Structure 1
Amino acid sequence: MSTSNALFTAKAATGIEGLDDILCGGLLRSHLFLLEGEPGTGKTTVALQFLQNGAKAGERSLYITLSETEHELRQGAKSHGWDLDENIHIFELTPPENLLNAEHQQSLLYSSDLELGEATRQIFEVVERVKPSRVVIDSLSEIRLLAQSSLRYRRQILAIKHYFVRYKATVLMLDDLTTEALDKTVHSVAHGVIRLEELNPNYGAERRRVRVVKYRGQKYRGGFHDFTIMSGGVHVFPRLVAAEHRSGYQRQTLSSGIGELDALLGGGIESGSSSLILGPAGTGKSLISLIFAAAAVARGEKAALFIFDEDLGLLFDRMKKMDIDLEMLQQTGNLFIEQVDAAELSPGEFSHRVRRCVDDRGIKTVIIDSINGYQAAMPEENALILHMHELLLYLNRQGAATFMTVAQHGLVGDNMQAPVDITYLADTVILLRYFEALGQVRRAISIIKKRTGSHETTIREYRIGSQGMTVGEPLDAFHGVLRGVPTYMGTDNPLLKDPRL
C-alpha cells in the first residue's frame, strides 16, 4: 500500500491481528491514544509492532523515548527478529548538558520549568523534521515527573495532543503507572485507552490480558482478552463470542463403529452436538472418545485431540494395544494431536487454538481430554463455565462433534463427585461406572441425557481388551449397578452367558 493510500484509511492497524480484532480495525487516525500497564506487560513491544506495521505500508513513524535508550530499543526489537525499518525514526530525548551541570541546578527558576519546556521543544523539533504519521511517546511517567503538578501535566498533554492533530498524526502514549497510578488525567484527554495487565498465579507462567478501557465514538470488543509475548511479538487472543460465528451444515448421525454402543446412544452421536463422558479414573473415558475419532477418520473426516493429562508417548502405546494406531492416524494428517500444558496455556489461547483447528483444517470432531486439566488452567470455576459455554456453542454452530472427558473423584459407590459440573452444557452425557459382581470388578455404561434424540435407558456392561471395547446386552435383571454393588433379580444371568464378554 502506498503512503497516500495508507493515510486515507480510517484506522491505523496495529499489526497485531488479535488486537486489531478487539479494536475493530485499529486506532482511529489523527487521534491520541493511551497504552498503559505496569513495567513488563509488553507496552514497548506493542508500540514497536504498531510502528512497524505503519512502516510496511510506507508511513513515516517516530518513536520518542524518554526512558529507554535507542540501543535498548533496537536490542529489544532484535530479540523478536525485527530489524527496524528506515521509515521508523527513534529519537532519544535526553536533558541538555547544562541542566546536568551542578552550577545550573541552583537557578532562581525551577529546574523543572526548564526541563519540561526543553523536552517539549525537542519533541516538536523532531516532529517538524520527520513529519511522521505514527508517533509513540515513551513514557508519560517522565513527563508527569517533569510537570510536578496535575494542572501543568494536563496542560502539557493537551498541548501535545493539539500539536499532533495539526500533523494528522496517530499518537500512542505509553504509561508504565510507576508514578501516580490513580491519576486519570490522560484518560479524559485521550481518544482511547488500552490497558495491559499481568497476573501471577500460584503455580505456572504469568498470565497476561488486555482490555480496551475507552474508545470514544467507536465500537470495540469489551472485556478481558488473553495475550502472550513470544519471539515474534505480542499475540492477542480475542475472547470468543459464539454468537458471531454461524455456519450452515447438514446434521447427521455419527456412528462409533460399535453396534451395541450406537444402540445405547439411539443410533450414534449427532454432528453439531457436544458429549460429556463422565466416570472415575480407568473406566475408559479417553478410549470411548478416541473410538469416535477413529471412526471419523475412517469416514474420511478429520479429528483433533487436545490432551491435558497424559503423555502422548504413553497414550500412543496404550491405544495401539487396543487396536487404535494414533501415530499412524496422525501421520496421515487426518488426526491432529496436541499436548496441552495447563500451567503454561491461558484459556483464551486454548479456545483460539481449537478455533483455528476447526476454521483452518476443516476439523469436525474435537476431543478435549480432560476438563479436569482444562480447569487447572482456570483461576475460578465460574470463568471455566463461561469459557466452556462459548467454546461448545461455537463448535456446535460449526457442525463439529465435541467429546469431553471428566474424571470423577472416587472409584465405587454413590458418593461420586466431579470437580466441576458441566453436565447441563453437554447435549449428551455418557456415564461410566465400576461395579462388583461375582467376585470381579466390572464396568458399566449408560446414557444419562441426550438432547438430540431418544436413547436407551438401560445399563450395559462393557469390557476393554486387546480388541478395544466390547459392549454387552442390557443388564435388565440387576439393580444398584450405578451404586457399585448390584443385586441380581432374575434367573438368567447375562454376566455369565454373554459370549462376547
Structure 2
Amino acid sequence: MITPTAPSKKALFGIPGLDDILGGGLTRDRLYLLEGDPGTGKTTIALQFLLEGARAGEVGLYITLSETRQELSENAASHGWSFDEHIAVFELVPPESLFEESQQQSLLYSSDLELGESTRAILQAVKEREPARIVLDSLSEIRLLAGGSLRYRRQILALKHYFAGQGATVLMLDDLTADVMDKTVHSVAQGVIRLEEMAPEYGAERRRLRVTKYRGQHFRGGYHDFTIATGGVQVFPRLISLEHKTAFARTKLVSGIGELDALLGGGIEQGSSTLILGPAGTGKSLLTIQYVLAAVARGERAAMFVFDEELDILLDRTRQIGIDLAALCEQKMLFLEQVDAAELSPGEFAHRVRNCVDEHAVKTVVIDSLNGYQAAMPQENALILHIHELLQYLNRQGAATFLTVAQHGLVGDMKAPVDITYLADTVVLLRYFEARGQVRRAISVVKKRTGAHEDTIREYRISSSGLTIGAPLVSFQGVLRGVPVYVGEDSQLDLLPGEDAER
C-alpha cells in the first residue's frame, strides 16, 4: 500500500540521488527523455517515477509498446512494488504475442496500425485517465512506425504539445535500438538523461548516468554511478568536496606511542590525510589501527574500510596482540566494513564513506588499501580524481584519514601502483632492512604539510605486545632504499626498550 505524501513543486523520481543530481526533480508539465541500451534500468526508473507520483496522490499512466502489463507487473513485483488505482497501464502489443481470439478483439496492435492511429489511441488513453505523470515506452517503436525522421519529429512534437495541454509530466524511454544517431527528441525534450552500462574484464557490470541536457535548471554534471538492486535503482551523485565545507578546530591527534608522536612532530592534525607507504608485511594496517584505538580512547568514533584482508583474519591477528576490534564494533565505536572491489564502483564507495561520516559522526577514517581501491578503478587518472575529492571531503569534515599503499617488491627499488603522495598531507614510509642477520623494520616521515617533523629514521618492532618504536637509526645508510650499509660500531646496534640485551 502506498502512503500518500504532500505534493511537491517538482516531479520527484523517488530516487534521492537522482533527484539531487536534477536539482530537486523534474520541472512539471514538460517532456523528458530517458535513454540507454537495453538492460540499463530505464523501466525500473520509470516505474519508480510513477510510484513516487502515486505516493503524492497523482495519477500515473504507463504507455507500453514493447512490454505487456504482465511483464511490467512482474518487474514491479521483483522489487516489492504493485500498481494501485493511481497507476494505469495502456499497452499496444503486437499480435504475435497473443493467440486467444477474445484478446485479439479487445486489444490494439501497433504492428497493424498506422502511426496516426497509434497516436490517436495514446491520446485517447491520456484523455480518459487525465494523468499527471506519463511514461511512454518506447520511442523505438514509434520511430519504426514513422518510417522517416520528418514524420517522426512531427509526431513527437504533436505528442509534446498535447501532453503539455493536459498538464502532464512526460518521461519518454528510448532503448536506442532503432537509430542511435537520431537526436530528434533531444532537441524537443526539456531534459535528457542517458544511462550507460559497462562490463569490466572481471566483476559485476557497472552502470552510470549523465544528465546531458536540462533547460533552465542547474544540475550536477558529469557521470554518476548507480546500481539496480531489489527495491529499485540507487544513484550515487558524484562527490563535490566544495559543497561540504565545515568549521572545526585543527587540534593535534596523538597515537598513544610517544616515539611515533615525536617522529610526527607531536601528532597528526585533525582534518588532514596521512598516506602510509611500504611493502607487504611492514605493519601498515597495524599502524592505522593504533590511531583507531587512540580515537576511541578520546571518545570518538572511527571507521575502517578494508579492501584486501578478510575481516576474520584481521580480527584474529589483532586479538593476538591484545586489540579487540570486535568489541569496539559492538560498542558502535568502530565501523568495520569489508569492501569487494570487484563488486563496488568508486561512486558507491565514496557514498558509503560519506554516509558513515555523516550518520555516525566518525572522526577517524582508514582506507586499507588503495591497491584494492585501484582494482575498482582501472583508469589511474580517474582514480586520482576520485581520491582527491574523497580526501578533500573528509578533511573538510574534520576527519583524520589514513590510507595505506602496498609497494611492489620487498627491498631495493620499490614503486607504488599509484602515486598520490602529493595529495596526502603526511607521508609515512615503512621499510625492511637487515642487521645482525635479522630482517628488521624502519619508519620515517618524508612529508608533513601541517608542521615540522623529525627527519630521522627509527626502528620499530611488532610483537605480542603490539607496536614498539625505538630510537633513531644513526649507524646506517641506505635504509630507505632497503639496502642499508652499517657505518657505526657494533655496540651502536641498540635494542628497543624492554628487549632482552642477551639476544
Do they superpose with TM above 0.5?
yes
Does the C-alpha gap of structure 1 residues 2 and 112 become closer, same or farther in structure 2, counting only changes over 3 Å? closer
Counterparts of 1:493 and 1:254, CA distance in 2: 36
Counterparts of 2:435 and 2:329, CA distance in 1: 39
Which residue identity lines up with residue 338 of structure 1 in the other structure?
E
Which residue does the alignment assign to 2:44? Answer: 45
Is the 2:30–2:170 contact (alpha carbons within 8 Å) kept by the matching residues of 1? yes
Whether 2:279 is the aligned partner of 1:280: answer: yes
Provide the secondary structure at the position in 2 that maps to 1:234: strand
| TM superposition outliers: structure 1 runs of 4+ over 6 Å | 1-5
Provide the secondary structure at the position in 1 that maps to 2:278: strand
Structure 2, unmatched stretches of 5+, are 100-109
Counterparts of 1:83 and 1:212, CA distance in 2: 29
1:67-100 superposed Cα distances (whole Å, 9 cap, x missing partner): 0000000000000011223201111123699xx9
The one of 476, 479, 489 equivalent to 1:478 is 476
Which residue does the alignment assign to 2:229? Answer: 230
Does the C-alpha gap of structure 1 residues 362 and 44 become closer, same or farther in structure 2, counting only changes over 3 Å? same
Whether 2:395 is the aligned partner of 1:396: answer: yes
Which residue does the alignment assign to 1:372? Answer: 371
Is the 1:95–1:119 contact (alpha carbons within 8 Å) kept by the matching residues of 2? no
Counterparts of 2:111 and 2:301, CA distance in 1: 66
Which residue does the alignment assign to 2:456? Answer: 458
1:354-399 superposed Cα distances (whole Å, 9 cap, x missing partner): 0000111100000000000000000200000000000000000000
Which residue identity lines up with residue 92 of structure 1 in the other structure?
E
Which residue identity lines up with residue 145 of structure 1 in the other structure?
L
Which residue does the alignment assign to 2:69? Answer: 70
Is the 1:35–1:193 contact (alpha carbons within 8 Å) kept by the matching residues of 2? yes
Cα shift at 1:492:
6.9
Cα shift at 1:112:
7.6
Counterparts of 1:306 and 1:4, CA distance in 2: 37
Which residue identity lines up with residue 419 of structure 1 in the other structure?
P
**TM-score, structure 2 length as denominator?**
0.94
Is the 2:3–2:55 contact (alpha carbons within 8 Å) kept by the matching residues of 1? no
Which residue does the alignment assign to 1:260? Answer: 259
Cα shift at 1:117:
1.7
Is the 1:41–1:197 contact (alpha carbons within 8 Å) kept by the matching residues of 2? yes
Counterparts of 2:381 and 2:308, CA distance in 1: 22
CA RMSD in angstroms comes to 2.0
Cα shift at 1:216:
1.0
Cα shift at 1:488:
2.9
Cα shift at 1:121:
1.2
Structure 1, unmatched stretches of 5+, are 101-110
Which residue identity lines up with residue 268 of structure 2 in the other structure?
I
Matches within 5 A, 1:140-289: 140-289=139-288
Counterparts of 2:260 and 2:207, CA distance in 1: 44
Whether 2:468 is the aligned partner of 1:490: answer: no
Which residue does the alignment assign to 1:24? Answer: 23
Which residue identity lines up with residue 445 of structure 1 in the other structure?
I
Stretch of structure 1 that moved more, 222-231 or 479-488: 479-488
Counterparts of 1:486 and 1:198, CA distance in 2: 51
Counterparts of 1:26 and 1:16, CA distance in 2: 9
Give the count of matched residue pairs: 488
Does the C-alpha gap of structure 1 residues 460 and 5 become closer, same or farther in structure 2, counting only changes over 3 Å? closer
Which residue identity lines up with residue 447 of structure 1 in the other structure?
V
Provide the secondary structure at the position in 2 that maps to 1:146: helix
Which residue identity lines up with residue 455 of structure 2 in the other structure?
T
Does the C-alpha gap of structure 1 residues 497 and 13 become closer, same or farther in structure 2, counting only changes over 3 Å? closer
Is the 1:112–1:147 contact (alpha carbons within 8 Å) kept by the matching residues of 2? no
Provide the secondary structure at the position in 2 that maps to 1:119: helix
Does the C-alpha gap of structure 1 residues 307 and 347 become closer, same or farther in structure 2, counting only changes over 3 Å? same
1:139-168 superposed Cα distances (whole Å, 9 cap, x missing partner): 001101111111110000000000001011
Which residue identity lines up with residue 251 of structure 1 in the other structure?
R
Counterparts of 1:225 and 1:294, CA distance in 2: 35
Cα shift at 1:61:
0.6
Which residue does the alignment assign to 1:442? Answer: 440
Which residue identity lines up with residue 498 of structure 2 in the other structure?
R
Cα shift at 1:3:
9.3
Is the 2:4–2:55 contact (alpha carbons within 8 Å) kept by the matching residues of 1? no
Counterparts of 1:268 and 1:380, CA distance in 2: 34
Counterparts of 2:253 and 2:5, CA distance in 1: 55
